[in-house]
Structure 1
Amino acid sequence: MFDEPTIGIIGGSGWLGRSIASAMLDKAFVQPDALVLSNRSASNPLGAKWSQVTVMRDNQALVERCDVIIVSVRAEQFVDVKIFAENRLVISLMAGVSLEDVVQRTGSRQVIRAMANAAAEIGKSYTPWLVTQEVTDEQKAFAQQLFETFGSADEVFTEHQLNYLTALVGTGPAYPALLARSLFQQAVTSGLPPAIALRAANAVVVDASQLIGNGHSVDELLQVLISYRGVTAAGLEAMIAYGFDKTIKAGLDSATSVASSMSPFAHSADTKEGPMTR
């Protein structure tokens, strides 16, 4: 089945669904005639380059044509997705929707819950994923390869871990964007022209941060920079003293709480250990 499966994406016109479809095609992970997308208009979001991709309105018709079903809709929209996908691998990309919810709503016992982010558009998503007990080793290997077409990925083992990572990495560029905006605003307040302030903030958040992971670990960089006891050390120590770490913790705690409770299904409950995971 998983040598050359037909893959369907429900919500294939959305930012994430479209990015994943493009990545799988660009990497030749799936052939155009083995990819099916569904959306309300039945229009091809991938353009003329991938005209062989089938697009349809009927989600159940998509399920019946495919071996693997990727559900890429917002959690609140899942209530309106009526499909029966027994004996098919279902991959959910919905924040906060538990494995149990997906099993109950799709009829599939072979479910992978994953949390990709917007960086999939540039092949840089970090995607943690969680499985039900019925997912085979072959299906797990397939899923890891699929996720690696648009970034990197790791299997995790509890709903709690996945909800926390939804708060940490599911946000994509949001946290760096917030830091860049704060740096920009402080620079403007200090008298710099907005154009220069913007380039300077981007140089810190986008450009200089690429040193991380490029032969330099976070701890190594911080230790070296602080050891100079100069401008950088003064800035870092003041930020920490004024609550930088506490602010980050508060943000992640709040986001995790929402990720753990946002399912539209009343019976769902996030637990640190669930009977359906392994």
Structure 2
Amino acid sequence: MNVSLRIGVIGGAGWLGSAIANSMLNAGIVTSEHLSLSYRSAKPERFPSAFWTKDNQELVDRSDVVIMSVRPQDWDAVSIDANQKLLISVMAGIRISALQERHKTERVVRTLPNAAAEVSMSYTPWIASKAVQEHDRDIVKAIFSACGIQDEVKSERDIDHLTGFSGTGPAFPSLLASAMMEHAVGHGLSVDVARRAAVTLLKGTGRLLEKRQECPNDIVRAFVDYRGVTAAAIEEMRAAGLNEAVSRGLTVAFKRSESMGDTS
């Protein structure tokens, strides 16, 4: 990757923009001197050698690549002319055509990293417009490989589906961990012990799945076939509608992402 590449992050003061910037710096994709970030209120103390500005157009003019990292509901307030530069959006629901029209560039990539980018463990699906060239794709791959794992997908519909799946980041595993902790504390365990147990459980599961490269369903089946304590719990959770609840939640998230695109 060319370290003289100039990259700007609109919304660089936010948690996701900041996480992406930090990952790029750590991976050597950009130097602090060639990194521009925008903020809305108080200037952050992070990245003191980078260029900070409240003027998003000034950021664009200083950059070869622009990352749009604002909340979808705040996008209407962002008025920039990208002047055919590579524009990478990390906003949920905002479609490529809308980004092209508003920001005057045909070179647009729509991505969806998640909160785990902060620890370089995000899963980021992305799709590029027809005008995006191979060297542009190399930049996108480098940026989001630095944030974790990245995949180019086939359609914006895939991105909409993954918005409520991988785009949720730690939310769903944390929801399960929270329910398990609540049950444990209700049965006399201390909050500290319950939290350590839940966090270690999630960390161990992730590492085990990565190391063994098995489908999660294969692991569940192995425990069910063993017919022990875990099997009894799995069968009770399924009988209570766990799978259906997950499916309904993901469906609602998918429809919400699609509707955001319809109104953008």
1:54 is matched with 51
| Count of paired positions | 263
Which residue identity is paired with 1:246?
A: E
Between 165-174 and 254-263, the greater mean CA deviation after superposition: 254-263
Seen in structure 2, the aligned counterparts of structure 1 residues 53 and 3 have a Cα distance that, compared at 3 Å, is: closer
Highest relative contact order (Cα 8 Å, sep 6+), 1 or 2?
Answer: 1
RMSD in angstroms over aligned alpha carbons? 1.9
Find the aligned partners of 1:195 and 1:21 in 2 and give their Cα distance.
33
Give me the identity figure in percent: 38
2:239 is matched with 241
2:3–2:28: 8 Å Cα contact kept in structure 1? Answer: no
Structure 2: 5+ residue runs without aligned partners? none
TM-score (norm 2): 0.93
1:129–1:154: 8 Å Cα contact kept in structure 2? Answer: yes
1:272 is matched with none
Give the alignment partner of residue 102 of structure 1, picking from 96, 99, 107. 99
Counterparts of 1:56-205 in structure 2 under 5 Å?
Answer: 56-205=53-202
Seen in structure 2, the aligned counterparts of structure 1 residues 137 and 208 have a Cα distance that, compared at 3 Å, is: closer
Query: Partner of 1:127: helix, strand, or coil?
Result: strand
1:221 is matched with 219
1:181: Cα distance to partner?
Answer: 0.8
Structure 1: 5+ residue runs without aligned partners? 269-278
1:192: Cα distance to partner?
Answer: 3.3
Which residue identity is paired with 2:30?
A: V
1:79: Cα distance to partner?
Answer: 0.4
1:205: Cα distance to partner?
Answer: 2.7
1:251: Cα distance to partner?
Answer: 0.7
1:73: Cα distance to partner?
Answer: 0.2
Query: Partner of 1:214: helix, strand, or coil?
Result: helix
1:42–1:55: 8 Å Cα contact kept in structure 2? Answer: no
Which residue identity is paired with 1:167?
A: G
Find the aligned partners of 1:183 and 1:124 in 2 and give their Cα distance.
23
